[in-house]
Structure 1
Amino acid sequence: MSSTALFRTEAEIARRLIESNGPIAVTTSLGRVSLRITGDLASVEEDWKRLQAIAPCTGPQTFDWASAWARHCLEPQGREPVIAVGHAADGALLFLWPFETANVGSLPVIKWLGVEHANYNMGLFAPGAASKFTAGDLSALLAEVGRKTGAVAAILTAQPFEWDGVRNPFAKLPHQAAPSSGYAVRLGDFAKLYATRFSKRSRGTLERKARKLAESGAIVYGWAEGDEEALALLELFFAQKSRQLAAMGVKDIFDAHARAFYREIARLKGDNPSRLRIGYLRIGDKVLATFSGTLCHNRLGVALSSLAEDERQRQSPGALLLKHQIEEASAKGIAFYDIGVGAARHKDEWCDVVQPLFDSFLALGPQGYLVTLPLAAAARLKRRIKSSRTVWPLAAQLRRRLFGRE
């Protein structure tokens, strides 16, 4: 055995196993589909970028986002991306599904790539192809992914029923309502939108807060320009968010690997749909609020937000920044400002689009039910708690008391 083989990582060994034997022929209602399953993202870059430009998707389904996630968050844990690519008999590209491997207990599963840091999860389908897939087609293709990777279940959460007017084929598979929905603002005439969503009294209150805040210095709204500013603002976000999550008693998901991932996508250039655009409200040298996200298919999707610890939070700098960004996006002709998943007061105030989501817990073999049944039950319980106007506030309060810390 060579010295190189001795030092292969588990991820490299898994990639070789996934790639072995080449494409798989799967009979579907669309005819014979050539299914390729790979952990080598570079080998599917051309297909991926071609499809992301024409298929309904968000930033987390784009190539550069996924590539950065795989390097920084999967490889250090010895886990693999699992990309399923389907071509028709004539060679036409039909779909690309971005998955990753994970373990639930000791059992291997697949889930959407980067699901912990994505608001919405979905596969990419070529225009016109999505509606043609049946539940049986999808089940047969997923079964091959499970067989090839050894996964006993597919845990596919936070999926929209439709996106950009296209129905999601995965909704044809067994599913249940997700614990939370997504919230977005349909943009256009900002003055009309603002007057419709906010009463005269509410608008006056926000204007008074802006004047009061400006007494401490000129309010500057902006977006990070250049790597140095982007990285500096990102470090501020990490610090602010860490304090917020600690006070709430919520686990900080921005570990060293996730931070490295965000640093990479924040340094992407131009109109790349994977690029993290970092927005802020600043007075002097103090950044009081941030809202950051990706711009993909004319939708600005918020991925990160934070508030500084400062007595001026009484003047609602976060609300002022949100208003400014929505007004700016409207002026630029952007179609949607998406504030993401999970109910919140500022979303109720602004959002006229509520995006129902669904979860699928699919056993790919007998052992898979040991994973899917308890996870599905836990998700249903979580939804009931979050949907309750009395239980959810009490649960959040109890969490803060038990686990919150300064």
Structure 2
Amino acid sequence: MTMAAVMESRAETRAWPETSRIARVDVVSDMREAETVWRALEQSSQFSTPYQRFDFLVAWQRQVGTRDGIRPFIVIARDKERQPLLLLPLGVRRENAVRTARFLGGKHATFNMALWDKDFAVGAARTDIDALMSGIRGHAQADVLALTQQPRRWIDLANPLALLPNQVSANDCPLLTMAPGAPPASRVSNSFRRRLKGKERKLQTLPGYGYRLATSDTDIKRLLDWFFAIKPQRMAAQQLPNVFADPGIEDFIRDACMTRLGGGGHAIDIHALECDEEVIAIFAGVADDKRFSMMFNTYTLSGNSKYSPGLILMRDIIDHYAERGVTSLDLGIGSDDYKRLFCKDDEPIFDSFIPLSLRGKVAAAGLSSLMRAKRLIKHTPALMQIAQRARGVLQR
């Protein structure tokens, strides 16, 4: 009997709750085998975030996940007609001898979520989630699920995985909501706009100055070349580790930025302020028709940096997406001061650590305690100062 047949037999003979629409749970380790279902569930008529797009995560797995020893663990739940109800894009790796399943994308995905059939997500109940967990547990390929940085809601729907036991994530994510058709002052105040315009007058004297969304391969490559030259210098000056130097990260970002999506745009979009002489600032992130989510940014080392080009670019990006009907925007994890200038609210995010075996019970308790400790440090100024000093010493 083939492995596929074994998996199918296991799924069909499992006792599923009669009140759940989930009739079987399959697991595949080849992302390409799941591609058809995956792309169907990432359509705008369904329910998912841009971070879980197939093109984004397949680039990450190819360049980063495989190098880190992560094996795809793609969970697909179906109804009795075998129609897909959800897809969980996970990867398994041994961590301290424990097989730990996490969302693919690592630290470069701000939000993690399953891809859902929207109608199923709207009515999903605890019995459905219990059936999903039972199906995953039955495949016996992981000891613990470490499902971190999940939004409690996405746009206008509740995340059904919030029905699992959970805790508040270690980090916050500042959020800007934008009402369709609202005046520009509702998203960036008139007084703040005047301040930015005053600074921008200095930049407007530069030949070729302007805001651009990179669309050609030539422009994307040029902007990324600049970013990977400047960002390490910025991070070193702030005594921060250069996460972009980790194996495979630069290749992943270049691949995703070059990958064109069927509906337009790229898996990662790059926005820039430029003049003829130099790139002044860039912001890059993922977007769909309802949300823009920033991933990375930097700005020039030249004297033009004193005119707040990052803030000017952020204003342009906000206006760009608002004019296209996007209703929310975030600037990534962390409550940096510049983010609070634009984002007055927070996106509620949570973590779930679900044991799938006896060994997994110990791991789940340990992971939960670790993340609670991280949140305590990040939200206690005195503890955060100690942690930052320690990090500075280690960086020397």
TM-score w.r.t. the length of structure 1 is 0.87
Alignment-mate amino acid for residue 219 of structure 1: Y
Aligned pair 1:372/2:364, yes or no? yes
Q: Deviations over 1:234-259 (max 9, x none)?
A: 12222322223333333322224121
Does the 8 A contact of 2:22 with 2:131 survive in 1? Answer: no
Measure how far apart 1:267 and its partner are: 1.4
Change (3 A) 1:31 1:322: closer
Aligned pair 1:239/2:229, yes or no? yes
Aligned pair 1:211/2:196, yes or no? no
What SS is found at the alignment partner of 1:72?
A: helix
Alignment partner for residue 78 of structure 2, among 76, 87, 91? 87
What is the CA–CA distance in structure 1 between the aligned matches of 2:133 and 2:240, rounded to whole Å?
A: 33
Alignment-mate amino acid for residue 46 of structure 1: T
Alignment partner for residue 248 of structure 1, among 238, 252, 261? 238
What is the CA–CA distance in structure 2 between the aligned matches of 1:239 and 1:31, rounded to whole Å?
A: 51
Match of 1:6 in 2: none
Alignment partner for residue 379 of structure 2, among 355, 364, 387? 387
Q: Deviations over 1:7-45 (max 9, x none)?
A: xxxxxxxxx97x561331341332551211001222221
Mark the runs of 5 or more structure 2 residues left unpaired by the alignment: none
**4+ residue runs of structure 1 moved beyond 6 angstroms?**
none
What is the CA–CA distance in structure 2 between the aligned matches of 1:132 and 1:211, rounded to whole Å?
A: 52
Measure how far apart 1:404 and its partner are: 4.7
Match of 2:216 in 1: 226
Alignment partner for residue 124 of structure 1, among 92, 111, 115? 115
Aligned pair 1:321/2:318, yes or no? no
Aligned pair 1:311/2:303, yes or no? yes
Alignment partner for residue 337 of structure 1, among 329, 332, 353? 329
Match of 1:22 in 2: 7
What SS is found at the alignment partner of 1:213?
A: helix
Q: Deviations over 1:158-196 (max 9, x none)?
A: 001111221111111111100122223223578844367
Larger deviation: 139-148 or 178-187? Answer: 139-148
Does the 8 A contact of 2:124 with 2:160 survive in 1? Answer: yes
What SS is found at the alignment partner of 2:351?
A: strand
Alignment-mate amino acid for residue 173 of structure 1: L
What is the CA–CA distance in structure 1 between the aligned matches of 2:176 and 2:147, rounded to whole Å?
A: 26
Aligned pair 1:277/2:262, yes or no? no
Alignment-mate amino acid for residue 52 of structure 2: Q
Measure how far apart 1:357 and its partner are: 0.5
Alignment-mate amino acid for residue 118 of structure 1: A
What SS is found at the alignment partner of 1:129?
A: helix
Match of 2:256 in 1: 265
What SS is found at the alignment partner of 2:212?
A: strand
Alignment-mate amino acid for residue 185 of structure 2: Y
TM-score w.r.t. the length of structure 2 is 0.89
Alignment-mate amino acid for residue 352 of structure 2: S
Measure how far apart 1:346 and its partner are: 2.3
Does the 8 A contact of 2:87 with 2:115 survive in 1? Answer: yes
What is the CA–CA distance in structure 2 between the aligned matches of 1:391 and 1:311, rounded to whole Å?
A: 35
Does the 8 A contact of 1:72 with 1:261 survive in 2? Answer: yes
Alignment partner for residue 178 of structure 2, among 187, 208, 215? 187
Aligned pair 1:151/2:133, yes or no? no
Aligned pair 1:162/2:147, yes or no? no
Does the 8 A contact of 1:60 with 1:274 survive in 2? Answer: no
What is the CA–CA distance in structure 1 between the aligned matches of 2:93 and 2:238, rounded to whole Å?
A: 27
Backbone CA RMSD of aligned residues: 2.5
Change (3 A) 1:86 1:103: same
Alignment-mate amino acid for residue 76 of structure 1: R
What is the CA–CA distance in structure 2 between the aligned matches of 1:400 and 1:307, rounded to whole Å?
A: 24
What is the CA–CA distance in structure 2 between the aligned matches of 1:209 and 1:403, rounded to whole Å?
A: 37
Aligned pair 1:109/2:100, yes or no? yes
What SS is found at the alignment partner of 1:111?
A: strand
Does the 8 A contact of 1:65 with 1:265 survive in 2? Answer: yes
Identity within the alignment, %: 25
Measure how far apart 1:298 and its partner are: 2.6
Q: Deviations over 1:68-112 (max 9, x none)?
A: 222222223342111111111122221111101122212111001
What is the CA–CA distance in structure 1 between the aligned matches of 2:71 and 2:5, rounded to whole Å?
A: 15
Larger deviation: 100-109 or 142-151? Answer: 142-151
Does the 8 A contact of 1:41 with 1:67 survive in 2? Answer: yes
Match of 1:9 in 2: none
What is the CA–CA distance in structure 2 between the aligned matches of 1:333 and 1:100, rounded to whole Å?
A: 34
Match of 1:37 in 2: 27
Does the 8 A contact of 1:275 with 1:294 survive in 2? Answer: yes
Measure how far apart 1:380 and its partner are: 1.1
Larger deviation: 166-175 or 253-262? Answer: 253-262
Change (3 A) 1:329 1:197: closer
Measure how far apart 1:372 and its partner are: 1.9
What SS is found at the alignment partner of 2:243?
A: coil
What is the CA–CA distance in structure 2 between the aligned matches of 1:264 and 1:401, rounded to whole Å?
A: 32
Alignment-mate amino acid for residue 358 of structure 1: F
